[in-house]
Structure 1
Amino acid sequence: MRKITLPERPDLAAKAEDAGFTFAHMHGEPYWDETSAYQFTLAQIETDLEDPATELHAMTRQAVDRIVGDQALMAKLGIPPAHFDLIADSWARNEPEVYGRMDLAYDGTGPAKLLEYNADTPTSLYESAAFQWQWLEDQLAAGVLPEGADQFNGIHEALVERFKELFDPNTDIHFSAMPDTPEDYATVESMAWAAREAGMGAHYTDLNKIAISKNKQFLDDQDRVIGTLFKLYPWEDMLADDFGKHVKDSGCLFIEPAWKAVVSNKGLLPVLWQMFEGHPNLLPAFFADDVAEALVAGGTPDPAVADAFGRVADQIRAAHVVKPIFSREGASISIVEGGDVTETSPNTDYDRHPRIVQAYHALPEFDGFRPVVGAWIVGHACAGIGMREDRSRITQDLSRFKPHFIAD
C-alpha cells in the first residue's frame, strides 16, 4: 500500500460537471482529490481486504441473530422498546439487505481492523462505484497509470445483480433522501441507476414529501403507493419520529430493512467482540457503562464482562476511543490516551446517546493525511473499496475521497 503522486486530469472540472458531481469541492477545499492515489497489490486487496470484509459481514449476521433474541441487548443498542418486535420480525422474515460500507484501518501490512459498519445509510457510493472508475480509465488511456493497472471496483455491477436477485423485472422501487443534499442524492441516484439497469422501475421522491394514506400506506409526492422504498434516512431517526409508528402496518418493504438498525450501530462492536473475541480483524470493544469502573484505577467492571475486559485491560487503558452508539462523520467521538482526552470531534450532535469503548488503533499516515478504507458490501460479499483520508485522527465530514488502483 503506497500513496503515489499523480497528475490531475486537465479536464477534471468539466468531467465532474458533466457527471453531476456537484460536491467535488466542498467548504472551500477539494473533496475529490486525484493529485495522488493509493496503490495496492492484488494480494493486499484479495487477502487483506476483500476476504476479511466478506467474513466480517457474515459475522455481523450472526450477531444480529443474537441481538434480536435478547431484548436487554436491543435496549443497550438504543432500540425503542415499542419497536423491538418490528426489528425482530424484520429479521425473522429475512427481509433483504442490499448494501453497506465497513470502515477499516489498514496500513498494507497487518490485518485490517474494523472501526465501524455503516450498514444502513452509507454515502460516498457514487464516488466509489462510478467516478473513481472513470478516473482509472482516463488515467490508463493517458498513460499516467502503469499498463494493466486495475481497481477493486465491481460495486455497480454487484448492485445490478443484487436487484435482479431480489426483485422481479419491472418492480417499482421508490428512492428517497432529504432535499438539497447533493451527496445524499448522488448515493440515491447511484442506487436507482443500478435498479434501472436491473430492469426495475425507479422513482425518486423527497423524504419530506412522503405521506400516509387513509389505508396506512406510504404515498409519494404524486400520491402513488410506495411498495418498496430505498430511504437514505437512518433507522434510529425513523424509529424516534412519527414516521416510525406507521412502518409496521404500511405494507412497505424497506431498503435497508429494519433489522439493519442493530448493524448500523456502534453497539454492534462490543457484541462482535463478545462473540468473536481475538478475531484478527476486530478491535476489543465494550459498552461504556459495563466498563466505566474498570477505566478508573482500582475499579472493577461488571462481573459479566470482567474476564473479557481483564484480558485487554492494559490495551484499553493505554488508548481507546469513545463512540456514541449512533454517530455520523466522526461526530461526538473522542480519543483517550493514558486517561486523558487527546482528541475529540468538534461536532457534538450525538452526545446524547450511550457510548461504547473501543481499543485505539492508529491509522497510517501519508503526507499528513490518515486514510480509512471503505469496504463496500453488496448482498453478502465485498464488491469494492473507496478511500477517504483526513488530517485528523478522527475521520470527519471534511475528509477527502482518494482514488485507488492495483498494480503489483
Structure 2
Amino acid sequence: MSFPWAHEYTPSHPFMKWMDEKLPLPRLVYNSVGSGYPVPRNLNYFWNFGFLALACLGIQIVTGVILAMHYAANAGVAFDSVEHIMRDVNWGWMLRYAHANGASAFFVVIYIHIFRGFFYGSYKAPREMVWLLGVVIFLLMMATAFMGYVLPWGQMSFWGAKVITGLFSAIPLVGEPLQQWLLGGFAPDNASLNRFFSLHYLLPFVIVGVVVLHIWALHIPGSSNPTGVEVKSESDTVPFYPYYIAKDGWAMGLFAFLYCAMLFFFPNALGHPDNYVPANPMSTPAHIVPEWYFWPFYAILRAFTSDFFFIPAKLMGVLAMFSAILVWFFLPWLDRSPVRSGSYRPAFKKFFIILLIDVLILGYCGGAPAAEPYVMISQIAAIYYFAHFLIILPIVSSIERPDPLPFSITEAVLGSDEQAALAPAE
C-alpha cells in the first residue's frame, strides 16, 4: 500500500544516515507506526484495543519487575513478603494494586479485542496468521495470570493451584506424573511456588516476542477494517501518524482515567477476600473460584458431572475447557463466508449477539457455586458455545445472503458519490 505523502524514510542528519545503514531502527519505526504506514481511513474505536493491550502489557511488565525485587518465592514467607510490599515498600501498595488490577484491565481489553475480531472477521484470509498468533498470546496470558494468582500464597492462591494442577491428573497414564512434575511434589509447596514465580516472570517476555510476530504478521497484509473491503486506492487510507496516533492517544487517556479510578478507589473490588488469609492446607475454602477472567472456561469445566461411557467426567471437562479456546484456531476455516464484516451479514449478526449473551451467562455461572441451577445452566450454555463454532457458524456462512458491500472504503466513508469515491484524500 502506498500514497503520495508516504514517502520512503530518508534521513538528513549524518548520524541518522549512518544509523540507517547499520541498524535501520528509525526506518522500522517510521514504516510501522509513522507516516510510512497507511491505515484504512474508516477504522472505528474498536481498533484502539490492540494499542491498549500493548499498553497493558507494558504496565504489567514494569510493575511486575519492581514487585519481583521485593517478593520472596518461599512458602514460609511469601504471604508476609506481599504484606511487606503493601506496608513497608515506598509506593508498594500502589504497585501491587496496579499489577493486580492491571491483569483485569488486560483481560478486559483483550476480550473486547477478540470479540471485535469475531464480529469483523479479522481471522479471515489473508490475516489468518495474525489471528493464530493472537490466540497464542491469549493462551500465554492465561498461563501467566494463573501462575501470578498463586504467588500471594493466600487461601485462594493455594487451593486454586491445587485444583487447577489437579486437572492434569485426569489425563490417562501421564496425568499424575505430569501433575507431580508441575508441582515439584504431591501438593503445592516451596517447589511449586518457585516454579510458578520463575515462569510468571519469564512468560511476559515470551508474550512480547509473540506480540512482535503478531504486529509483523499484521503489517504484511495491513489492517482490516469495519467494512471488510480491502484497500483499493490511496484514497482508502490515511497515515497512521498523526491520525491514528491521536485516536489511540484519546483512547489511552480514557483508559487511564478508568484504570486509575479502579486503582485508587476500588482496588479490591475484583479480588477475593479469602486471598488475604494465609494459605492453610488444612482448611478448604467454602467456595473455590478462580479470577473472573477464567469464569467462562471454569463453567465449561464444571458442566460435566457424569461419566460418558468409559470417559471420566473430569477428563471430559478438562478437554472441553481447553477445546473452548483451541476451537478459535480453526475459525478461518470454519467460517466460509466470502464477506468478512458482520455488519453486512444479518444472520451472522444475530447469532453473534446470542454468543455474547451465552459467554456472559457462562461467566456468571463460573463465578457461582457449583450447585443447581448454575450447573444445568452451564451445561446448556456450554452446548451452545460449541454449537455456535462447530455447527451454526459453518451453516450460516454457507447459506446466508449478505447485504451489498460498498465498492471501496472511501465509498463507505463518504457515500456512493463516484467522484468522492475516486478522489484522492486531502
Indicate whether the TM-score tops 0.5: no
TM norm structure 2:
0.25
TM norm structure 1:
0.26
* Higher radius of gyration, 1 or 2: 2
Higher strand share: 1
